[in-house]
């Protein structure tokens, strides 16, 4: 008689990386990674960081509200947006600025959003992309519905959505994985594992070895990628997009990175995490890493860097200008979009509100 | 033309709209082969196939969240929640997203979905199968909340709900799913959302109700008629946004009003109706608006649910209280 | 004695009750090392250790569901929801279980938990951070719903909430977390739940409010006093169950009433108060009860939230409408 | 340079079985499985089936409301309850009658519950056990809270909870796994995989190979057991309980079985599943299987079977008697348990309700 129990299913998580922590190549470059593309990705990451610095500054000087910095996660976000086709749909979380810019979403719209203005989500480009999602993990389900619409209409499009490590604790995250697996949906799930959910470290968030393995609960592949290696993220994204586009279903990508900034401008991370940890994380950050590689390859130098920074500053300055010139919103704006047609009660309330418009005290 | 029940009218409306608009899809638990636990989607899988009639995994937040995603792509998902008592896990998706998508994006993305669910008590069902949460949805800006009371209204209002460009919560009083039959032409004619229906004319007192309770309300009106008390009966139908004008016009005539609903009393829809009648019609009121409602307790299990539901006796008692005022 | 803010009063109450009752535990997102995003739990981890001050994974249904389990074992969990806009995923657990456990088991198992959450607008916070859903909880039988308006009331009411044998939804107006300071003796004295407080006496009109809006209400009363209009101001404090008697007694004196709340108007708590005043006090009413509320739109983002929130001007306007009636 | 990607985590699911489909032993018996214990488990399974048959009958004859039959899942439920210690807590789903009886919950209380009477959940024994849970999957979170209370009080107790295969699609299910893993809680999660969630087959419910693998999303072991083999279920339950009791954390047990009856008495399974499938499932059912084994070992015979059936009938008849003699509930019953103390509004409403008591029409 047998005395052991047969294994009926097994699973593994692989870790994907091309650039080592010092910008050295540890695997042969993937095909997409031509010098042009790498330079482009580099520039886009620097642009995101320039934007980010400015956004924090706008908040500090009272010109914008609370803002969540993307510092440290530029590679994930840029690679994600860059790998997508125009006709795909992005369903972002609130720290996906890089992907949004790749999609054509205007910087000034992101400023508007965090400046407390709904019009910031009325994107002029990427009009099917979802706005920033505040209620954690809900966006993962929207992505499944969008993917289902693509599948129903037999369109070769993919829904791409992102979340933080903390968000992977929520029911909606898992319900989305399960549905995507059950329906074999064209969706790519990205997890920005930046090690922290506000003050809660990854180790308290979940007892799993990896976040990637949560994909097995949905019945499809999950993998880990070095989220500070833009080449690796870009590659696993393309692979996952292709899988999805060809009808082979979803993938979960855990991009391992680090939140180098505070959670938001309303947070002070020094309350809960050590300087040492932060310093160590800076050693691995994505922009420096790619710069080292490019320089070593003779694809980058100080002059180009200087020009790039000036360029980025100019682009961001223009966006700030556009943001600051946003026409004032009015009472109609807050009443007219609850329903397509103003209801009777809202007509009455709007007329009443207009009576008091001039007198308002708060704000 | 054959007479059909309320639930058959729902099936008829779903099939009609699926025929004329290929963006209409239905999804939910057990709605495919099984045709729904109440058979609202009976035959749809056969007619429209599994790509449009989707049996989902068992997860209500997922049903709502996926429907929101579909709706953003121009589909018109009609999501069935097996009982409205199981819609609570979906409230985050519904409140935080379905109700807000248009406003959040200033009209760029919208959410033309319908959330259907059997609703209300009196069917001797286990706990959680007899809830009346219309007040919750009515309080959340962005929804329309609709409750039909007859086969014809179920048909016309469901067509309107599906065609509406915004999310509609469509609650189906399961107690009257098969109570009465009516001829309901399958002509695709929608009824207006946002309008009350005057179900019966009268001049002594206005009775306001919706859904299954309208039946006890009508019975009460019949009994009162024998006492020579002529009640006007209003079927609210769209609970939110509320058509207060129709109610006010009636109260202007009768001077007295009784609102009847199954849901708990505290901060229920009856309170809103009473408050608005006072605000806008106090000079026509001869007595305070009376509320005949469920109690502020969890809907009792079947053995005791009859003690909870508004009855003709309670309605008539309230009418007399109103009539005897001063 | 040092004066403390409303949020410090909350910390003080939590610490007091944790000292005297080792069944009291707190749980939530970022409540440990970080002391909560508003610092309500500041220092508790240091004083009581991680077994009683639990940083949870990020999942609100989980927080509520786990708290229900703990409470069934005689613990007294105080769960923090980071903002009340993020409590919606927990509504199923709260509505289906916390509110019903005692009734479902006929008293065998109970749910002595507190759900705390920052609440309301006016802090220029991003979307979803400024919600006022007290009406939803008030409609569900089984909860007590409490909203403090000052440091002293925050302290006394939170102690009462923790000691209460049933689930209490405790909503903290974040706009006034640090607005005023008061001396609040740390003596463990609870204030009664289910009672309104008369904050100011007057005989011309009754102003009824709660939470942060009470401050604009008081300011309006001050301004009115200069016009020789003497408003009585009532702090409802426990929104459910409602202490209508205190309100009725005031209205019997003044004959006029204005209810003020931030939440959307439709099927809000203001409607319930208005309806009950009419039902039980119509003969003392000289004018219809006026409601000054948020609009039936999603709370606007910070740039426009000032247009949504009730202001002194709107309150005074409503008072004049009431005074000029007939 | 490397060209493959390293595996950073891997997982496997084992399948546990002792009795083959024809009652033959395929592995050496585990230590607990003495003749006495096996006979006891057999008797308890038969008792559950007798109860179940009667319950359906009560519903059919209008003496009880809708009822969910446990037919086919007796082994899982009996083994689960039997493996627990008295001081453990059971947090059941609605198809856990066998476990409830093992815990001392009275049959008449289960009748009362499905008869539409809240008093059925006021168990006289097992007073800390949770009542039947209708909102799918919510009970899994209650179990984590109870387990946390045990951990906090340093009590060597375990929370045991169960769910159906359909329930594993819900957020609460996963949130519970994640918390239990993160906090290393003393809890045992059982999944009754009976292949159907009302009319929805397992294959539509999730895209995973096994349900057991969903445990990996929580970071702890998941295994499959033959749910028609009471010996195997009892053994994996004991192992999991011991693990939990010794501070080694949670286990997910997927018990593979089949729902031989309709979903509830309100359902008609012939609408959506084939006779062939049902017949095949009957071949594997748990009671017959153990009987075959016991008979082959000389531990059972027709006489004992006859006596047992008579015994079970008598026990169930007594419970029916108690059920039917339940005193009528009254108005106080529906008002007095919403809060510990009747509130003012409820005092008023109760007095009002009493005025109408005699006149009620419905029901
Ligand atoms: C449902 C919900 N609960 C709580 C919050 C408050 N909140 C905002 S961000 C955050 C932490 C998120 O952490 P993670 O998912 O790791 O993303 P990160 O911010 O680190 O990128 C929390 C708790 C929220 N937005 N939504
Ligand atoms: C949240 C929720 N949604 C829907 C239902 C209705 N419902 C009751 S049982 C059931 C199927 C459950 O299937 P499964 O989890 O496999 O358990 P089984 O009944 O097969 O034992 C459904 C959909 C419910 N009770 N709760
Ligand atoms: Mg994070
Ligand atoms: Mg099942």
- pLDDT tens per residue across span D297-307: 999 999 999 99
CB contact under 8 A, A66 and C126: yes
Q: Is A309 exposed, middle or buried (0-12, 13-18, 19+ CB in 10 A)?
A: middle
Domain ranges in chain D? 15-329, 331-363
Instruction: Please tell me if residue D31 touches chain A, with a CB cutoff of 8 Å.
Output: no
Nearest-CA neighbor of A208 among D189, D7, D178?
D178
On the question of pLDDT at A361 being above 50, the answer is no
The first and second tokens of residue B83, run together, are 């009982």
Label residue D358 by pLDDT band (50, 70, 90): low
Beta-bridge partners for B257: B206
CB contact under 8 A, C126 and A136: no
- C173 and C101 in a common domain: yes
- What is the number of the ligand 1 atom nearest to the C-alpha of A170? 1
Q: Is there an atom of ligand 1 within 6 Å of A195 CB?
A: no
SS3 C36: coil
How many Å apart are CA D22 and CA D11, to the nearest integer?
A: 31
**Strand stretches in chain B, DSSP E:** 3-4, 24-28, 53-55, 76-80, 114-119, 144-146, 168-173, 182-183, 197-200, 205-209, 231-235, 238-240, 257-264, 290-294
Beta-bridge partners for D252: D189, D222
The pLDDT, as a whole number, for residue D357 is 77
- B73 and B37 in a common domain: yes
- What is the number of the ligand 1 atom nearest to the C-alpha of A259? 20
Through-space distance between the first and last CA atoms of chain A, rounded to whole angstroms: 78
The DSSP code for A189 is E
Buried-state track B162-186, b at ≥16 Cβ within 10 A, e below 16: bbbebbbbbbbbbbbbeeeebebee
- B170 and B299 in a common domain: no
Asked whether residue C249 is assigned to any structural domain, the reply reads yes
* CATH code of residue C307: 3.40.50.920
Q: Is C174 exposed, middle or buried (0-12, 13-18, 19+ CB in 10 A)?
A: buried
- Listed in sequence order, the residues at least 6 apart from A161 whose beta carbon sits closer than 8 Å to its beta carbon are A90, A91, A92, A93, A139, A140, A142, A143, A176, A187, A188, A189, A190
* CATH code of residue B35: 3.40.50.970
- B298 and B202 in a common domain: yes
Count of structural domains, chain B: 2
Query: Closest-CA residue in chain B for A129?
Result: B109
pLDDT one-digit tens code per residue, A263-318: 999 999 999 999 999 999 999 999 999 999 999 999 999 999 999 999 999 999 99
Give the active site residue among A259, A289, A293, A323: A259
On the question of pLDDT at D361 being above 50, the answer is no
Pinpoint the alpha helices (H) of chain D: 35-60, 74-83, 97-102, 107-114, 138-152, 171-183, 202-205, 230-245, 275-282, 286-296, 302-324, 331-335, 344-356
SS3 A15: strand
Point out the residue among D66, D271, D353 whose CB comes nearest to the CB of B126. D66
CB contact under 8 A, A207 and D169: no
Distance from D130 to chain C by nearest Cα, in Å? 8
* Domain boundary residue, one of B183, B216, B249: B183
pLDDT one-digit tens code per residue, C69-114: 999 999 999 999 999 999 999 999 999 999 999 999 999 999 999 9
Which chain B residues are Cβ-neighbours of D271 within 8 angstroms?
Answer: 33-35
The DSSP code for D86 is T
Chain C segment 75-94 residues within 8 A of A by beta carbon are 85-86, 88-89
- Per CATH, the number for D15-329 is 3.40.50.970
Nearest-CA neighbor of C34 among D152, A166, A173?
A166
CB contact under 8 A, D142 and C57: no
Which chain C residues are Cβ-neighbours of D150 within 8 angstroms?
Answer: 73
Q: What does the pLDDT average to over B154-168?
A: 98
The pLDDT, as a whole number, for residue A79 is 98
Chain C segment 88-117 residues within 8 A of B by beta carbon are 88-89, 91-92, 95-96, 99-100, 103-104
Count residue pairs from A and C with Cβ separation < 8 A: 133
Asked whether residue B189 is assigned to any structural domain, the reply reads no
Which chain D residues are Cβ-neighbours of A26 within 8 angstroms?
Answer: 1-2
* Domain boundary residue, one of B159, B183, B207: B183
Q: Is there an atom of ligand 2 within 6 Å of D194 CB?
A: yes
Q: What does the pLDDT average to over D124-135?
A: 97
- What is the number of the ligand 2 atom nearest to the C-alpha of B30? 23
Which chain D residues are Cβ-neighbours of B297 within 8 angstroms?
Answer: 334-335, 338, 346, 349
CB contact under 8 A, C282 and B288: yes
Active site residue A272: yes
The first and second tokens of residue B243, run together, are 């058509």
- C230 and C149 in a common domain: no
pLDDT one-digit tens code per residue, C138-175: 999 999 999 999 999 999 999 999 999 999 999 999 99
- C156 and C287 in a common domain: no
Compute the residue count for chain D.
363
- Give me the percent of chain C exceeding a pLDDT of 90: 99
Angle between helices D230-245 and D74-83 (to 10 degrees): 30
pLDDT one-digit tens code per residue, D185-243: 999 999 999 999 999 999 999 999 999 999 999 999 999 999 999 999 999 999 999 99
Characterize the bridge pairing of strands B205-209 and B231-235: parallel
pTM over 0.95: yes
Yes or no: say if A160 and A93 are a contact pair by the CB < 8 Å rule: no
Distance from C188 to chain A by nearest Cα, in Å? 30
Q: What does the pLDDT average to over D260-269?
A: 98
Largest CA distance in chain D: 88
- C49 and C130 in a common domain: yes
Yes or no: say if C42 and C11 are a contact pair by the CB < 8 Å rule: yes
The pLDDT, as a whole number, for residue A359 is 55
Q: What does the pLDDT average to over D35-60?
A: 98
Q: What does the pLDDT average to over B29-50?
A: 98
Yes or no: say if C315 and A361 are a contact pair by the CB < 8 Å rule: no
CB contact under 8 A, C92 and B95: no
Yes or no: say if B208 and B257 are a contact pair by the CB < 8 Å rule: yes
pLDDT one-digit tens code per residue, A161-208: 999 999 999 999 999 999 999 999 999 999 999 999 999 999 999 999
Instruction: Please tell me if residue A314 touches chain C, with a CB cutoff of 8 Å.
Output: no
CA gyration radius, chain D: 22
> Quick one: which ligand is closest to A163's CA?
1
Instruction: Please tell me if residue D147 touches chain C, with a CB cutoff of 8 Å.
Output: yes
Q: What does the pLDDT average to over A15-21?
A: 97
Handedness of CA C147, C150, C153, C158 (dihedral sign): positive
Yes or no: say if C236 and C209 are a contact pair by the CB < 8 Å rule: yes
Asked whether residue C72 is assigned to any structural domain, the reply reads yes
The DSSP code for C273 is H
Characterize the bridge pairing of strands D187-193 and D196-197: unpaired
Point out the residue among B69, B106, B107 whose CB comes nearest to the CB of A142. B69
CB contact under 8 A, D333 and C69: no
How many Å apart are CA A84 and CA D338, to the nearest integer?
A: 54
Q: Is there an atom of ligand 2 within 6 Å of B82 CB?
A: yes
How many Å apart are CA D316 and CA D330, to the nearest integer?
A: 27
The DSSP code for A19 is B
Asked whether residue B271 is assigned to any structural domain, the reply reads yes
- Give me the percent of chain D exceeding a pLDDT of 90: 97
Which chain B residues are Cβ-neighbours of A144 within 8 angstroms?
Answer: 62, 65-66, 69
How many Å apart are CA B96 and CA B104, to the nearest integer?
A: 10
- C222 and C138 in a common domain: no
Profile chain C (326 residues) by mean pLDDT over runs of 10 residues.
96 98 98 97 98 98 99 98 98 98 98 98 96 98 98 98 98 97 98 98 98 98 98 98 98 98 98 98 96 98 97 98 92
The first and second tokens of residue A160, run together, are 């791409």
Q: What does the pLDDT average to over A134-158?
A: 98
Q: Which residues of B are catalytic?
A: 129
Q: Is there an atom of ligand 1 within 6 Å of A97 CB?
A: no
CB contact under 8 A, C264 and B140: yes
How many Å apart are CA A141 and CA B300, to the nearest integer?
A: 34
- Listed in sequence order, the residues at least 6 apart from D362 whose beta carbon sits closer than 8 Å to its beta carbon are B122, B305, B306, B309, B311
Asked whether residue B192 is assigned to any structural domain, the reply reads no
Q: Which residues of C are catalytic?
A: 129
Q: Is there an atom of ligand 1 within 6 Å of A197 CB?
A: yes
- B52 and B115 in a common domain: yes
B144-146 sheet: strands from edge to edge: B53-55, B24-28, B76-80, B114-119, B168-173, B144-146, B238-240
- Listed in sequence order, the residues at least 6 apart from D88 whose beta carbon sits closer than 8 Å to its beta carbon are D157, D158, D159, D160, D241
How many Å apart are CA D98 and CA C170, to the nearest integer?
A: 40
**Residue A352: count of CB within 10 angstroms of its CB:** 12
ipTM of the complex as predicted: 0.98
The pLDDT, as a whole number, for residue A305 is 98
CB contact under 8 A, C279 and B291: yes
Active site residue A124: no
User: Cis omega before residue B188 (within 30°)?
Assistant: no
pLDDT one-digit tens code per residue, A22-74: 999 999 999 999 999 999 999 999 999 999 999 999 999 999 999 999 999 99
- C204 and C149 in a common domain: no
- C209 and C172 in a common domain: no
Asked whether residue B188 is assigned to any structural domain, the reply reads no
Distance from C110 to chain D by nearest Cα, in Å? 9
Chain B segment 106-135 residues within 8 A of A by beta carbon are 106-110
Neighbouring subunits of D (3+ Cβ pairs under 8 A): A, B, C
In whole angstroms, how far apart are CA D232 and each of D27, D36, D75, D185, D254? 10, 16, 9, 24, 12
By the CB criterion, residues less than 5 angstroms from ion ligand 4 are D 164-165, 194, 197
Instruction: Please tell me if residue D339 touches chain B, with a CB cutoff of 8 Å.
Output: no
Neighbouring subunits of B (3+ Cβ pairs under 8 A): A, C, D
Nearest-CA neighbor of A120 among A130, A110, A129, A128?
A110
Range of the domain at B90: 3-183
Asked whether residue B191 is assigned to any structural domain, the reply reads no
Yes or no: say if A234 and A226 are a contact pair by the CB < 8 Å rule: no
On the question of pLDDT at A240 being above 90, the answer is yes
The first and second tokens of residue D77, run together, are 């439920």
- B286 and B209 in a common domain: yes
**Residue C185: count of CB within 10 angstroms of its CB:** 10
Instruction: Please tell me if residue A212 touches chain D, with a CB cutoff of 8 Å.
Output: yes
Instruction: Please tell me if residue C59 touches chain D, with a CB cutoff of 8 Å.
Output: yes
Label residue A362 by pLDDT band (50, 70, 90): very low
In whole angstroms, how far apart are CA A292 and each of A39, A288, B257? 12, 6, 79
Nearest-CA neighbor of C37 among C49, C15, C55, C64?
C55
The pLDDT, as a whole number, for residue B117 is 98
Which chain B residues are Cβ-neighbours of D115 within 8 angstroms?
Answer: 302-303
On the question of pLDDT at D100 being above 80, the answer is yes
CA gyration radius, chain B: 19
How far is the centre of ligand 2, averaged over its atoms, from the C-alpha of D136 (Å)?
A: 6
């Amino acid at each position: 008689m047998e005395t052991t129990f047969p294994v009926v299913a097994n699973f593994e998580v692989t870790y994907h990386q091309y650039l080592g922590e010092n910008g050295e190549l540890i695997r042969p470059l993937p095909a997409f990674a031509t010098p042009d593309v790498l330079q482009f990705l580099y520039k886009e990451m620097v642009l995101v960081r320039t934007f980010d610095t400015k956004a924090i500054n706008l908040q500090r000087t009272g010109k914008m509200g609370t803002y969540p910095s993307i510092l440290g996660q530029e590679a994930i976000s840029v690679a994600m947006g860059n790998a997508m086709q125009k006709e795909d749909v992005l369903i972002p979380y609130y720290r996906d600025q890089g992907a949004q810019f790749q999609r054509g979403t205007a910087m000034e719209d992101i400023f508007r959003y965090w400046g407390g203005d709904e019009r910031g989500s009325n994107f002029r480009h990427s009009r099917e992309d979802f706005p920033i999602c505040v209620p954690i993990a809900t966006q993962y389900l929207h992505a499944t519905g969008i993917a289902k619409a693509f599948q129903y209409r037999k369109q070769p499009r993919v829904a791409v959505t992102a979340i933080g490590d903390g968000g992977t604790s929520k029911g909606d995250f898992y319900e989305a994985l399960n549905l995507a697996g059950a329906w074999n949906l064209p969706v790519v799930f990205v997890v920005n594992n930046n090690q922290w959910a506000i003050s809660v470290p990854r180790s308290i968030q979940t007892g799993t070895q990896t976040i990637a393995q949560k994909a097995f609960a949905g019945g499809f592949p999950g993998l880990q990628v070095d989220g500070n290696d833009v080449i690796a993220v870009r590659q696993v994204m393309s692979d996952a997009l292709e899988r999805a586009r060809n009808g082979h279903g979803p993938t979960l990508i855990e991009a391992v990175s680090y939140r180098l900034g505070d959670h938001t401008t309303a947070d002070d991370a020094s309350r809960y995490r050590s300087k040492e940890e932060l310093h160590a994380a800076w050693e691995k950050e994505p922009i420096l890493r790619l710069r080292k590689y490019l320089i070593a390859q003779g694809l980058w130098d100080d002059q180009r860097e200087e020009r790039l920074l000036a360029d980025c500053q100019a682009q961001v300055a223009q966006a700030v200008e556009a943001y600051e010139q946003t026409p004032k919103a009015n009472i109609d704006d807050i009443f007219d979009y609850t329903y397509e047609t103003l209801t009777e009660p809202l007509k009455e309330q709007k007329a009443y509100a207009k009576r008091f418009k001039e007198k308002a005290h708060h704000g | 033309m054959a007479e059909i029940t309320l639930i058959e009218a729902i099936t008829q409306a779903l099939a009609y709209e699926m025929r004329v608009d290929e963006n209409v899809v239905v999804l939910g638990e057990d709605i495919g082969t099984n045709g729904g636990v109440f058979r609202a989607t009976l035959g749809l899988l056969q007619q429209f196939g599994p790509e449009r009639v989707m049996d989902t995994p068992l997860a209500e937040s997922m049903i709502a969240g996926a429907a929101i995603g579909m709706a953003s792509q121009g589909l018109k998902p009609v999501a069935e929640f097996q009982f409205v008592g199981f819609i609570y896990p979906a409230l985050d998706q519904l409140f935080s997203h379905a109700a807000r998508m248009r406003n959040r994006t200033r009209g760029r993305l919208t959410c033309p979905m319908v959330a259907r669910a059997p609703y209300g008590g009196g069917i001797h069902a286990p706990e959680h199968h007899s809830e009346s949460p219309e007040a919750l949805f009515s309080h959340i800006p962005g929804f329309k909340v609709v409750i039909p009371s007859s086969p014809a209204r179920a048909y016309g209002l469901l067509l309107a709900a599906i065609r509406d460009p915004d999310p509609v919560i469509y609650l189906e009083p399961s107690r009257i799913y098969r109570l009465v039959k009516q001829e309901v032409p399958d002509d695709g004619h929608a009824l207006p959302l946002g309008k009350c229906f005057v179900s019966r004319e009268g001049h002594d007192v206005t009775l306001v109700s919706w859904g299954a309770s309208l039946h006890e309300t009508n019975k009460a009106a019949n009994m009162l008629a024998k006492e020579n008390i002529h009640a006007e009966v209003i079927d609210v139908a769209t609970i939110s946004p509320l058509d207060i004008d129709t109610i006010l016009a009636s109260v202007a005539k009768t001077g007295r009003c009784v609102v009847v609903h199954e849901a708990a009393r505290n901060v229920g829809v009856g309170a809103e109706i009473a408050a608005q009648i006072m605000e806008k019609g106090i000079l026509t009121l001869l007595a305070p608006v009376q509320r005949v409602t469920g109690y502020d307790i969890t809907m009792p299990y079947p053995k005791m649910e009859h003690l909870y539901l508004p009855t003709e006796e309670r309605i008539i008692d309230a009418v007399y209280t109103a009539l005897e005022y001063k």
